Structure 1
Amino acid sequence: MKTLMVFDFDHTVVDDNSDTWVLRCLPGQTLPNSIKSSYKKGHWTEFMGRVMNYIGDQEVSPDEVRSVMETIPFTTGMTDLLTFISTNKNTIDCIVISDSNTMFIDWILHAAGLQAAVDQIFTNPAKVNELGYMEVQCYHSHECDRCPVNLCKRKVLELFLAEQSDGGVEYGRIFYVGDGGNDLCPAFSLRGHDIVMPRKGYTLEKLLAKLEGQEDKTSLRARVLAWSTGSDILEELITSMQS
């Protein structure tokens, strides 16, 4: 049976936030207060739509944005991990579930030559419109009150697993690797022999630690194993494949 690797992207695969890294393409590398103050909690994707529009208004081309996005650093050890995954596709499937967008993730993975590691990317769709401006849309709508309005990662993961099962693919073990608050919800859909891997010192680790202190922890079945580098994850993956 195959192993499934599920990755968040920002502060996980890459060591920064792609949505804020893009501001480096602006002449002053910052946004005017009118746009900064327009953000409403849980509505980040709509905010990013306004950011993209502002970038276009400053006559920064998508090609210039791409050049900037390609300089975002990968988290230590992550390129080795993804390279290992890409050379073991017969036994490992790999997906990304991210609140970034299709253009940013595609650009970054292709620039590093790592796109072969990832089988599917679930994120907010983005494109260049007829004006030459970048546009981003919400991934989907959902009823989950834990998650941002545009993306419930648990819903995405469960739908992916159901479709794979319908196609005859079952996973012996699932690794869920992330860092943020929106990575907690999908952790609840993991089984007892799966592993949720929060990045050390980040929000997901703290939220999982709070669950440890609660008497009723039955909703989280997966083993929790924190990581600092991609090498930590790779070591655990290899150990799992050998057992």
Structure 2
Amino acid sequence: MKTLVVLDFDHTVVDDNSDTWVIRCTPEQRLPDWLRKTCQKGRWTEYMGRVMAYIGDQAIAEDAIRHVMETVPFTDGMLELLNFIDRNKDKMDCIIISDSNSVFIDWILRAGGVRGAVDQVFTNPAQFDERGYLTVQCCHSHDCAQCPLNLCKRKVLRDFLGSQSHNGVEYRTTFYIGDGGNDRCPAESLAEGDIVMPRKGYTLEKLLCRAGPASASLKPRVVVWSSGCDILSEIISSVN
């Protein structure tokens, strides 16, 4: 039985938001007010579609966008964590579940030399169209009331575990590492013996660790992290 490491991406693997980082490729490194005002709660992916259309309208080429995205900083210790996972693929699998998009994540992981550490990426599909514009689609449809319309990370995780089980792969321990409010849903689906690791000072920690009696129903153990090295130490202890 192997260990499964599940990673969020923005403010977890990387120390910023990849969707807002891309704005640095625009001439003024900011979006016009009319565009920013179109952002609606729970509809971030639709908003990012408009952002990328605007960037395309500015005649910003794919190479220029990629150059900017490859400068997103990794969170302290994350490269060490991913390189450890890559060296121990016989003992562990690693997936990313993110509300970013497939193009950004692939570019950034390859720039860090750690794409091989990640077995699968579950995120919003993206591709460049015939105009050279990056188009972004919603990850999937779901009926979870507490998640954004485009992505329920609990559903993704459950579907992945079910598929793996069907193929004869079971996990002794699942580590779920994240930072945001949309990481609470999958964290609550973990079982006893699993470990959820919220980033210190971020929304997920506040939701899980400062909820008082409401957090008592959580089955997984909660371990707060500040760097990838904290996560690595916890994983090494579990694997050994």
- The TM-score bracket by the shorter chain reads over 0.9
Q: What SS does the corresponding residue of 1:196 show, helix, strand or coil?
A: strand
| Cα distance in structure 2, aligned partners of 1:155 and 1:217 | 23
Structure 1 residue aligned with 2:178? 178
| Cα distance in structure 1, aligned partners of 2:37 and 2:177 | 31
Residue type of the alignment partner of 1:221: K
RMSD: 0.8
| Cα distance in structure 1, aligned partners of 2:237 and 2:213 | 30
| Cα distance in structure 1, aligned partners of 2:108 and 2:230 | 22
Q: Aligned pair in 2 of structure 1 residues 193, 25: CA closer, same or farther (>3 Å)?
A: same
Structure 2 residue aligned with 1:84? 84
Structure 2 residue aligned with 1:7? 7
Structure 2 residue aligned with 1:42? 42
Gaps of 5+ in 1: none
Structure 1 residue aligned with 2:98? 98
Structure 2 residue aligned with 1:21? 21
Q: Aligned pair in 2 of structure 1 residues 79, 173: CA closer, same or farther (>3 Å)?
A: same
Q: What SS does the corresponding residue of 2:216 show, helix, strand or coil?
A: coil
Q: How far 1:216 sits from its partner (Å)?
A: 7.3
Give yes or no for the alignment of 1:217 onto 2:203: no
| Cα distance in structure 1, aligned partners of 2:124 and 2:215 | 34
* Aligned with residue 224 of structure 2, among 223, 226, 230: 226
Count of equivalent residues: 240
Structure 2 residue aligned with 1:54? 54
Q: How far 1:62 sits from its partner (Å)?
A: 1.2
Q: Aligned pair in 2 of structure 1 residues 216, 29: CA closer, same or farther (>3 Å)?
A: closer
Give yes or no for the alignment of 1:71 onto 2:71: yes
Q: How far 1:215 sits from its partner (Å)?
A: 5.6
Q: How far 1:210 sits from its partner (Å)?
A: 3.7
Q: What SS does the corresponding residue of 1:3 show, helix, strand or coil?
A: strand
Q: What SS does the corresponding residue of 1:214 show, helix, strand or coil?
A: helix
| Cα distance in structure 1, aligned partners of 2:108 and 2:3 | 24
Residue type of the alignment partner of 2:216: K
| Cα distance in structure 2, aligned partners of 1:215 and 1:112 | 39
Contact 2:209/2:215 (8 A) holds in 1: no
Q: How far 1:209 sits from its partner (Å)?
A: 2.0
Q: Aligned pair in 2 of structure 1 residues 194, 36: CA closer, same or farther (>3 Å)?
A: same
Contact 2:178/2:199 (8 A) holds in 1: yes
Q: What SS does the corresponding residue of 1:236 show, helix, strand or coil?
A: helix
Q: How far 1:217 sits from its partner (Å)?
A: 2.9
Q: What SS does the corresponding residue of 1:177 show, helix, strand or coil?
A: strand
**Structure 1 length-normalised TM:** 0.97
Q: What SS does the corresponding residue of 2:49 show, helix, strand or coil?
A: helix
Give a deviation string over 1:176-210, Cα, whole Å, max 9, x none.
00000000000111111000000000000000024
Give a deviation string over 1:147-185, Cα, whole Å, max 9, x none.
000000000000000000000000000000000000000
| Cα distance in structure 1, aligned partners of 2:132 and 2:214 | 54
Percent identity (aligned): 63
Map 1:136-175 onto structure 2 (within 5 A): 136-175=136-175
Structure 1 residue aligned with 2:188? 188
Q: What SS does the corresponding residue of 2:213 show, helix, strand or coil?
A: coil
Gaps of 5+ in 2: none
Give a deviation string over 1:120-170, Cα, whole Å, max 9, x none.
000000000011111000001110011000000000000000000000000
